[in-house]
Amino acid sequence: MSTTDTRESIMSVARSMVQAHGYNALSFRELAKAVGVKSASVHYHFPTKADLAAALAQRYTEDASAFLEELLDSDQGLAASFAAYTAIFRAALESDNRMCLWGIMAAEHDDLPETVRIEVDKFSLLNVRWLTRLLAREIKKPNLVAIKQKALAIFAAIEGAQLLARGRGDIKVYDQIIATYRASGLLA
Amino acid sequence: MSTTDTRESIMSVARSMVQAHGYNALSFRELAKAVGVKSASVHYHFPTKADLAAALAQRYTEDASAFLEELLDSDQGLAASFAAYTAIFRAALESDNRMCLWGIMAAEHDDLPETVRIEVDKFSLLNVRWLTRLLAREIKKPNLVAIKQKALAIFAAIEGAQLLARGRGDIKVYDQIIATYRASGLLA
DNA sequence: ACCTGAACACCGTTCAAGT
DNA sequence: ACCTGAACACCGTTCAAGT
C-alpha cells in the first residue's frame, strides 16, 4: 500500500468516526486498528490529533464548497435549491445516524485546538455565505443585512433539526421539522 | 463538610463542566480537584461517570420542569412566553458561553451510556410537550399533530441557534437568529 | 520514506485500607 | 459513613530503532 493510500485511508476512516462520535471520542488506537496500522503510524502522517482533525475539517469544507458551487450554478429555483441543500444534511443521518462534521464539532467548540476551531468555523461561514447568495439572487433590491441574518437562521435551524433527529434516532423527525420550517416561511 | 454538601458540590461543579465541555471531556480527576477531594471520593458518591451524568441530566430536567410549569401557570401571552422561554437558553450562553445540557450531550448521543441517554431524552420530550401545551392553549380547535410538529421545530431551531451562537462566541448571533425566527413566523 | 515497540503522563475504575 | 493510595487497562504523544 502506498503512502497516499494509507494517508487517505486514515482520513476516510477518521472522518467517518468523527461524524459518529466527535473529536474528543476519536481514538488514535481505534483508528489505527480500523486502518490496519499501529497508532504511531497515524502520528507519522498526522503528528497530533489536532493536525488530523484540522485536515478533516478543511477537506470537509472543500468538498462542501465544490458541491454547493455546482448547485448554485445549476440555477434551479429557490424551492429546489433548498430541497437539495437540506438533503445534504439528511444524507449524514442516513449514514448510520451520523452528523454533519460541523454540527458535532460545534458542540465541542470550546475544547477544540485552535487550528481545528479555525477550520470548523470556515464551514459555517461558507454555508451562511452560500445561503446569502442563494437568497439574494431571488430579490431585485436585496437588503443584504436582513438576508444574511436569514441565512444564519436557516443554517442554525437545519443543524438543530439534525441534532434533534439524531437524538431521536428517527430520520422522519428531520423531515417533519424541515417541512415545518418550510410551512412557517423560514425556508422560502 | 457533610456528605450532602460534598455530593451537591460534585453535582454543581460537574454540571457546569458538562455544560462547558460535554460528557466525554468530563474528567473525574479534574472534577475532584475542583471540588477539593480525590477522584476515588467522587466514585464513592457516583460509582461511575454514567451514574453522575444520569443524575445531572435528571436534576436538569427536574429544574427545567419546575420552571416551565410556573411559566405556563403565570398565563402570559404567547409572545411573552416565547420571550421567557428563549431567554433560558440565552442564559446558558451568558454563563461563559456554556450550552444547554441537552444540546451538548445530544451531539454525543450515540456515545452516551444508555442510562444517561434515557435521562437526556427526557429533557427534549419535556420541552416539546411544554411547547405543545403552550401552542395549543392559544387555539380553539387545535390540530394536535400539526402543533406537536411545530413544537418540535421550535425546540430544534432554538438549540441550533444556541449551537451556532456558541461557535461564534457572540450572543448577539443568538438574538439575531431568534429575531429572525420570530419574523418568519416560526415563533408565533 | 514509512512503520513500530516501548515509554511517558494522562484517563475511568476498582479495592483494600484507613478514619 | 466517608475518604484515599495504589493498581489496572486505557488514552495521545514521543522517540529511538527498525526496514
CB neighbour list of residue A136: distance below 8 Å, 6 or more residues apart: A142, A144, A147
* pLDDT top residue among A1 and B93: B93
Note if the pTM is more than 0.75: yes
Contacts of A21 in chain B (CB under 8 A): 108, 110-111
Give the model confidence (pLDDT) of A38-87 as tens digits: 999 999 999 999 999 999 999 999 999 999 999 999 989 999 999 999 99
**Residues in A 157-176 with any Cβ partner in B closer than 8 A:** 157-161, 163-168, 173, 176
Residue A75: the pLDDT is: 85
Nucleotides in chain D near protein beta carbons (<7 Å): 1-6, 10-16
Residues B109-128 have a mean pLDDT of 96
Which of B 32-91 lie inside 8 A of A, CB atoms? none
The whole-number pLDDT of residue B75 equals: 85
pLDDT at residue B114 greater than cutoff 70: yes
pLDDT of residue A1: 45
What does the pLDDT look like over B148-163, one tens digit per residue?
999 999 999 999 999 9
Task: Determine contact: B126 vs chain A, CB below 8 A.
Answer: no
pLDDT higher than 50, residue B84: yes
Q: Could you tell me which of A49, A19, A65, A64 has the C-alpha nearest to residue A162? A: A19
Cell numbers found for residue B13: 461543579
pLDDT in tens, A82-130: 999 999 999 999 999 999 999 999 999 999 999 999 999 999 999 999 9
Which residue type does B101 have?
L
Torsion angle of C-alpha atoms B129, B81, A176, A87, degrees rounded to 10: -130
Cβ A167–B109 below 8 Å, yes or no? yes
What string of H, E and C letters represents the secondary structure of A124-185?
A: HHHHHHHHHHHHHHCCCCCCHHHHHHHHHHHHHHHHHHHHHHHHHCCHHHHHHHHHHHHHHC
Please give the share of chain B, as a percent, with pLDDT higher than 90.
93
Angle at B57 between CA A101 and CA B40, to 5 degrees: 100
pLDDT at B50 over 80: yes
Query: Burial of B121 by CB count in 10 Å (0-12 exposed, 13-18 middle, 19+ buried)?
Result: buried
A100 neighbors A161 (Cβ within 8 angstroms): no
Confidence of residue B90 (pLDDT cuts 50, 70, 90): very high
Per-residue pLDDT tens over the stretch A10-34: 999 999 999 999 999 999 999 999 9
- Whether B37 sits with its Cβ under 7 A from any strand D atom: the answer reads yes
Residue A142, pLDDT score: 83
pLDDT band for position B188 (cuts 50, 70, 90): confident
